[in-house]
Structure 1
Amino acid sequence: MNYRKGYFILSLLCLTLFMGLKSSAQNIQIKGQVVEENSKQSLAFATVAIVDQATKKAISGSITDDEGYFDLDTSASNFYVEVSYMGFISKTIKTFDIKRNTANLGVILLAEDAEQLNEVVVQAEVSRNEFKLDKRVFNIGKDISNTGVSALEVLSNVPSVSVSIEGAISLRGSQGVQVLINGKPSILTEDSGSLGSITADMIEKIEVITNPSAKYEAEGTSGIINIVIKKEERKGVNGSVTLNTGVPDNHSVGLSLNKRSEKFNLFTQIGLGRRSSPQDSENINNDLINNTILYNIGESFRNEKFYTITLGTDYYINDNNVITLSGNYAFEDEDQPSDNNYQLFDEDENLVSEWNRNETTEASNPKWQYELQYKRDFEDHEDHDLLISATGRSFSKDQNSLFSDKTVSGSDYDATQRTRTDFGENTFTFKLDYTKPFSEKWSMETGVQYVLSDVSNDYEVQNLINGNFETDFGLTNIFEFDQDVLGVYVTGAFDSGKWGVKPGLRMEYTKVNTLLVDTDEANNQDYFNFFPSIHTSYKISDMVSLQAGYSKRIYRPRLWDLNPFFNIRNNFNIRQGNPDLQPEFTDSYEVTSIFDIGKTSLNFGLFQRYTTEVIERVSTSSNNVIVQRPENIGTNSTYGIEFNTKISPVQWLSFNVDFNYNKFSRVGSFQTTVFDFKGDQWNSKILAKFKFPADIDFEATGNYNSKYQTIQSEVSDNIFLDLGLRKKILKGKGVINMSVRDVFESRIQESVTVQDDFEAYSKNKRGRFITFGFSYGFGKGDAMEYSGSRRR
């Protein structure tokens, strides 16, 4: 329950009810200051009531200001004063001196009520999983193993979500995912590495929307993942600080501050840190035409220093109108060394040559995001509102790499290369959303959104020839990408309490222009699409509910899908883009049943997706150089089941189980190769939580991902375990944590590709990560443990 908000509203009601009882002729003025006993910090918005001695009923009241002061008057003659604040022991004052019609109560000290605070935590705790009509909510503050990790690692523990070692995010086995922050695209979701600047301590919850309504952008064929960043709105000053350290290097400091008054809500989050992500790799390229085999064993690092700051303010014009101005700046300073050993064997397995390839890469990535938002709440209904926003995002990368190949034995492979990347992206989003309830049962939503994206990637490769670096024009070009998307939507909803339905229609016009500047190769497209959706729910009883939904989705190729000029870190395994790619379209259906049985909740669902113009990476090989390039290849039909449950057999033990299985059928061809095949895959997560005495919590999370087939390869299965331990200290305001990710270093990703002219094997491993953390809430704030279930 939202106790503090209730106290605040009650106080305002008291003021309203008793304003008319004031009498200036015989009034007695009562004033003083309310202060927290331990910290001696003032308590804003404490309730001060004047109570009749005979009836024990309040006859007047007030609340303290930002500094804890109060000043009220009464015409009563037989009364006492009662001071109360949520989480503190109330104080009754019956003896005081009245001089010149004034009673100065001085400083009133309130002590924390430990028992009451404990009750608040228990009662305010939200479930780890919450199921709503069109989304599932995952509350982050409940998982100890998220200590000190980034948003990418947090996502790997979210039901239905999988994250590969390379950082590719999948939802129900599909990578066509739209990742949002606070309901909007962000510079921090443009690539998986950028999610590292968001730590778990900053996240309040993650929303998984497998079948979005027409209100949401149509982008993302498998659905939407929305990362909700914490924003404290309690009255007064609130704050928390977090310290983390770990092995390999993973050190960070986070500070969250908030000050809320009647007119303003000021908030900021500051984070800085350093981390290292080592990766071991092994690749085998087998050229079946020339009968040669290339072995490659490598080690690479991504060492980063990162800084992030968020500043914002809400200005409450009045009770119905609020303006929000916020900005975020993030900066990453990257160092990416790698060391690879190559061995080339002939058809008789004789060593032809051996050489080492060393890389030194430095990059700086400044990122900006800023937003101006206006919200109007209409008085006729709490859900009647208008929201207008303008958002700007900017991301740039300045990267330089030096590659040095040194021959160890055999044929001469000595070479020196260097690359330069100058990348810039600017995106502007303008949005209007309007919600209008016509009655308690009928409502409507409508809105418009316009997104403009302007991207440029200047990539150059140079080879050292006779002591001078010369540009390799076959690998060098400037790629420009411009995309504008205009969307308009309308939805209607009927909800009788037992049965509800929400149909909607979204229309989007897309214009895309790509240009390779040096070769003057242009590809311009524009298309107009309709995206219908419908959701319905039926409540069979208080324990059983059914939900069903349909939506049409699109995946538009991104810059890295389109840009043919990429990285040459491993110049025998190269990834390229394809500027001729067409968008994917998906029809998504699902039916879900929800059972609440005592302390156990069960969720069982069936889903089906049909995708056309499927984008897959196709590998080709020549002289042991494997090139992967995305192509539109046919259709994909996927059927699946999903099961989630939470079981608490005893008070100190609970289990969260997530299981996902899907079976797919692929039909397609590329050039002369047919890629028709059928396959399946499944994954499961089990989270066990233990509550021990002395406020100690322990949890273990097991993950299993089955093997599965792609159009050319088979990806092996993997299983790994994460552990977490938490201890509350300092009366619950402090929390110490420890987490171990991939305890047995078993999270290994392997794939095997077998084709008529080549075979390939790939293996990657990250290893074990250990993190220690400390969080402390000050002022009226809580330690970061409560990020998903904050007290108010």
Structure 2
Amino acid sequence: MRTTVLGIIGSFIIMPVYGQHFVKGKIIDSENAVMPMVNVAFLNQSDSTLVTGAVSDSCGIYSTSLDGGSYIIRYSYLGYETLYKNILVNADITLPIARMELSQTELEGVEITAYRKPFKLNRDGITADVPNTILAKQTTLNDLLCKIPGIQQRGDAIEVIGKGIPTYYINGREVTDQTELNNLAIDQIQSVRLMTNPDVRYHSEQRAVIEIKTKRLGEGLAFNVSGNLLQGNHFSQNYRMNGSYNYKNWDFFFSYNYDRGKKDSDLDIYQQTQSDTIWNLTNLSQKQIFNESHAYTGGVSYHFSPESEVGLKYEGKYSEGNTSSNETLSMIPDKGVSTFIKNLSDVSDKSVSNHFNLYYINDWKNGWKMNVFGDYLHKTDRSRGNIREWESDDAETSMDYHRKADWDLFAAKFSLSYETEKAGTFSLGYDFSHTSGTDYIEYIRALNNGRTRNTELKNSLYLSYDYTWNNLSLGAGLRYEHIRSDLRETNDSKSQNQTYHNFLPSVSLSYNTESLQQSLTYSIHTERPPFGVMNDNAVYTDRFTYQKGNLYLKQALTHDLNYMLFYKFLFFNLNYTCTHNPLVTAFYSMPGNSAVTVSYMDNFDKLHNLTGMINLQYPVKWWIPSLTLTCMKTFFDYPGPDGSMLKSGRPLMILNFNNSFTLPSGFLLSADFNYGSRGYYQLYESKSYTSLNLSLKKSFLDDRLQLSLDGYDLFNKNKIRSAARLNDIIMNSIGKEDTRKVGFTVTYRFRTERTMNNRSAAENEMSRLNMSE
């Protein structure tokens, strides 16, 4: 009897459980990384009362049990848009993956004292969230990028360590002109992603990609004005204006950038040619470079929904400049007569570019996504120069030259992807580009004057597949490229035709937990020679130096293996590349006149490169230090004197130590120290360099007004010194740019905006909950 009673009581206790259903789901962010610690609330659809809740684990997984019925799910996490979804529960169910987007609203007027880690690692690379982090306080895009591990600035150029100059994308669209980057305001940026081994969705020439996502502001007018005054050896100024007006589904935007400045650029070359005669050349060159440019952007876009838009954009740039140089040359042979020359040159140049871009983006929210881009770019370059020479006997020679180039580019890109609930994501895409241009030179002392016509047609097709299972993500893809290149010298009827059929695979694997993130990628990339050197011209630089083109250059092919790890405050990256037919700037002594050196670009046999990088970033209250140490070793054989072979020597070490200090009264102090050791890359041995940059920033009027005082290369030690030996020539050079500068920047952000109308799938539910986003 007692057993029977207990059985009846137990059946009543567990009866409700049999009436409930198991509900499970997964949460990721916009970069497909899992999101732990997300609050998941299940609300009754009839009266919006809370029924139950859950929190996602380290794999982004959440689960609970619910009675049958209709519910509203609310996903919330600090710094991200709150997401709502309707569900019907009548059986055990695994919900579709929930994707959360970063919040478009910054916390104006609120002092952020807690540290929010801006970086995270996924299969593709490092992603940096900008709003409400230390990155949002930077003055320029270059300042922001240099805070990301693996990126540094040398002179005026941003480079990815071990990869060179990156390719930029903004909202999935390739940036073809620096103008767009110059006009980009920091508060427009939502996130930045660095990919050091891009997969098949990107052009095969792109060994490093920086992908920038921007924010759509609320309805109304947004207007930013900034001015930068920079004092080095000379005075420079830059003024930028960005504006947008958003009304309902329409966005109108424009920008204007004016830049005017002058800088010094000195280069000292000490060279010895060990031929039939030993020639000792000293070339001391001082250049003064002036440039003035106007860059302008305008466009309009129409949003069919928050996930679908069509847009048209125009970018234009007009620039002109002048370079004056003063060279002193001495050529002292071991036998014969020495020569001493003074060389003055004056070169004026002008460049005009016009770029039109049309795009369409759509995310149907049923797993399908489509992007379509179309571009047309026209660019013209003109330059005129005069060179005057005086020899030791005071004999003077003078000559003029004229050079012009016209280029047209047509490009289109289509991508389509489908994300299934359980079987992963399938993607395909097609790229097309047609480039044509004419490079003409008329030069009295050119070995070959003429007109070079270049035409290149490229068609690319790619397929890729991505799959995520718990902590593990897999990716694989294949890209096929057909390239047809035609070069023709119209004066002497020389021509060179090349056709390439490239099959380029990529594979990636990542494993992510809450504290540990790892990724391993492999891909094959190509490198095409620049159009500017694919000609047969040999141009006179001075009495002992010519620059020559090369009609017969081939593409380089690189195998790239990359491993990355994030563990708490530590980031580690190990990269290995093997390049076949690498493109290297080389030089040789002219046959029949060994006193003259000819520089050109050529294909060598193979180049191996191994790069290791470690970054430590650990905040200490008001101090955020970031220490990056990079070691790069090149394995490269190249010809030396008398038929011997030389090898690249010691590895190159790079140290970057970035510091941000939050001071009283809202001041932000940044101190960045950079050091590069002596070491080899390709056949060039770089000498050591150092630089120290300081910056002090303060915001007023709820961050609408920002003042920044910046000092660059304060100890004037960022010199570019290198040495090289090739064939019978030994060359040493010291380059010094005008890098020690002090700048002052004023930025004002004017906004009269209203909250953007919400057009999400949860619009009705949010209205019933009396919420507004």
TM-score normalised by the shorter chain: which range applies? 0.7 to 0.9
> Paired residue for 2:330, among 326, 337, 343?
343
Cα distance in 2 between the residues matched to 1:580 and 1:240: 49
Contact 1:653/1:691 (CA < 8 Å) preserved in 2?
Answer: yes
Q: Is 1:334 aligned to 2:325, yes or no?
A: no
- Offset at residue 226 of structure 1 (A): 2.5
> Paired residue for 1:364, among 347, 350, 354?
350
Contact 2:489/2:536 (CA < 8 Å) preserved in 1?
Answer: no
After superposition, residues 365-764 of structure 1 pair within 5 angstroms as 365-381=351-367, 384-407=368-391, 410-411=392-393, 414-439=396-421, 442-462=424-444, 472=445, 474-539=447-512, 541-565=513-537, 568-570=540-542, 572-596=544-568, 601-622=569-590, 623-649=594-620, 651-667=621-637, 672=643, 674-677=645-648, 679-710=650-681, 712-754=683-725, 757-764=728-735
Contact 2:327/2:342 (CA < 8 Å) preserved in 1?
Answer: yes
- Offset at residue 357 of structure 1 (A): 1.2
Contact 1:176/1:555 (CA < 8 Å) preserved in 2?
Answer: no
- Offset at residue 396 of structure 1 (A): 1.1
- Offset at residue 269 of structure 1 (A): 1.4
Q: Is 1:311 aligned to 2:301, yes or no?
A: no
Cα distance in 2 between the residues matched to 1:367 and 1:715: 35
Cα distance in 1 between the residues matched to 2:169 and 2:555: 20
Cα distance in 2 between the residues matched to 1:121 and 1:238: 24
The 3 A distance-change label for structure 1 pair 595 and 434 is same
The 3 A distance-change label for structure 1 pair 603 and 544 is same
Question: Can you list the C-alpha shifts for 1:196-250, whole angstroms capped at 9, x where unaligned?
Answer: 9557759836532111111111113xx2233638564332211211011111322
Contact 1:239/1:781 (CA < 8 Å) preserved in 2?
Answer: no
Cα distance in 2 between the residues matched to 1:339 and 1:197: 31
Contact 1:613/1:632 (CA < 8 Å) preserved in 2?
Answer: yes
Q: Which has the higher contact order (CA 8 A, sep 6+)?
A: 1
Which residue of structure 2 aligns with residue 46 of structure 1?
Answer: none
Tell me which amino acid in the other structure corresponds to 1:380: N
Contact 1:404/1:415 (CA < 8 Å) preserved in 2?
Answer: yes
After superposition, residues 55-204 of structure 1 pair within 5 angstroms as 117-119=108-110, 127-138=117-128, 142=134, 147=139, 158-162=148-152, 164-165=154-155, 167=157, 170-175=159-164, 178-180=167-169, 183-188=172-177, 204=189
Q: SS of the counterpart of 1:439?
A: coil
The 3 A distance-change label for structure 1 pair 586 and 674 is same
Q: SS of the counterpart of 1:337?
A: strand
The 3 A distance-change label for structure 1 pair 431 and 476 is same
> Paired residue for 1:272, among 253, 258, 271?
258
Contact 1:144/1:699 (CA < 8 Å) preserved in 2?
Answer: no
- Offset at residue 676 of structure 1 (A): 4.4
Tell me which amino acid in the other structure corresponds to 2:579: T
Q: SS of the counterpart of 2:690?
A: strand
Question: Can you list the C-alpha shifts for 1:122-150, whole angstroms capped at 9, x where unaligned?
Answer: 68x974534332122356894699746x8
Tell me which amino acid in the other structure corresponds to 1:267: F
The 3 A distance-change label for structure 1 pair 202 and 305 is farther
Contact 2:430/2:459 (CA < 8 Å) preserved in 1?
Answer: yes
> Paired residue for 1:777, among 749, 752, 769?
749
- Offset at residue 17 of structure 1 (A): 11
The 3 A distance-change label for structure 1 pair 288 and 635 is closer
Tell me which amino acid in the other structure corresponds to 2:385: S
Cα distance in 2 between the residues matched to 1:542 and 1:661: 28
Q: Is 1:233 aligned to 2:233, yes or no?
A: no
The 3 A distance-change label for structure 1 pair 611 and 516 is same
Give the root-mean-square deviation of aligned CA atoms. 3.3
Tell me which amino acid in the other structure corresponds to 1:287: T
- Compute the TM-score of the two structures, normalised by the length of structure 1: 0.75
Contact 2:152/2:159 (CA < 8 Å) preserved in 1?
Answer: yes
Contact 1:233/1:265 (CA < 8 Å) preserved in 2?
Answer: no
- Offset at residue 351 of structure 1 (A): 8.9
The 3 A distance-change label for structure 1 pair 534 and 557 is same
- Offset at residue 555 of structure 1 (A): 0.7
The 3 A distance-change label for structure 1 pair 117 and 713 is closer
Cα distance in 1 between the residues matched to 2:403 and 2:722: 30
- Offset at residue 606 of structure 1 (A): 2.0
Q: SS of the counterpart of 1:395?
A: strand
Instruction: Using the TM superposition, name which of 321-330 and 570-579 deviates more.
Output: 570-579
- Offset at residue 675 of structure 1 (A): 4.5
Cα distance in 1 between the residues matched to 2:509 and 2:557: 23
The 3 A distance-change label for structure 1 pair 534 and 386 is same
The 3 A distance-change label for structure 1 pair 777 and 126 is farther
Which residue of structure 2 aligns with residue 263 of structure 1?
Answer: 249
Cα distance in 2 between the residues matched to 1:571 and 1:127: 57
Cα distance in 1 between the residues matched to 2:478 and 2:667: 50
Contact 1:309/1:330 (CA < 8 Å) preserved in 2?
Answer: yes
Instruction: Using the TM superposition, name which of 238-247 and 206-215 deviates more.
Output: 206-215
Q: Which runs of 5+ in 2 are unaligned?
A: 1-28, 30-44, 48-102, 755-772
Q: Is 1:281 aligned to 2:270, yes or no?
A: no
The 3 A distance-change label for structure 1 pair 566 and 181 is farther
Cα distance in 1 between the residues matched to 2:154 and 2:110: 40
Contact 1:490/1:506 (CA < 8 Å) preserved in 2?
Answer: yes
Tell me which amino acid in the other structure corresponds to 2:121: F
Tell me which amino acid in the other structure corresponds to 1:709: Y
Cα distance in 2 between the residues matched to 1:701 and 1:554: 34
Contact 1:145/1:699 (CA < 8 Å) preserved in 2?
Answer: no
Cα distance in 1 between the residues matched to 2:160 and 2:507: 20
Which residue of structure 2 aligns with residue 13 of structure 1?
Answer: none
Question: Can you list the C-alpha shifts for 1:461-509, whole angstroms capped at 9, x where unaligned?
Answer: 13xxxxxxxxx46241111211111111111111124111111111111
Cα distance in 1 between the residues matched to 2:437 and 2:559: 30
Which residue of structure 2 aligns with residue 324 of structure 1?
Answer: 311
Q: SS of the counterpart of 1:732?
A: coil
Tell me which amino acid in the other structure corresponds to 1:420: H
Contact 2:446/2:538 (CA < 8 Å) preserved in 1?
Answer: no
Q: Which runs of 5+ in 1 are unaligned?
A: 3-15, 19-85, 89-113, 463-471, 783-791
- Offset at residue 689 of structure 1 (A): 0.7
Contact 1:144/1:737 (CA < 8 Å) preserved in 2?
Answer: no
The percent identity for this pair of structures is 15
Contact 1:641/1:662 (CA < 8 Å) preserved in 2?
Answer: yes
Contact 1:591/1:607 (CA < 8 Å) preserved in 2?
Answer: yes
The 3 A distance-change label for structure 1 pair 679 and 524 is farther
- Offset at residue 451 of structure 1 (A): 1.0
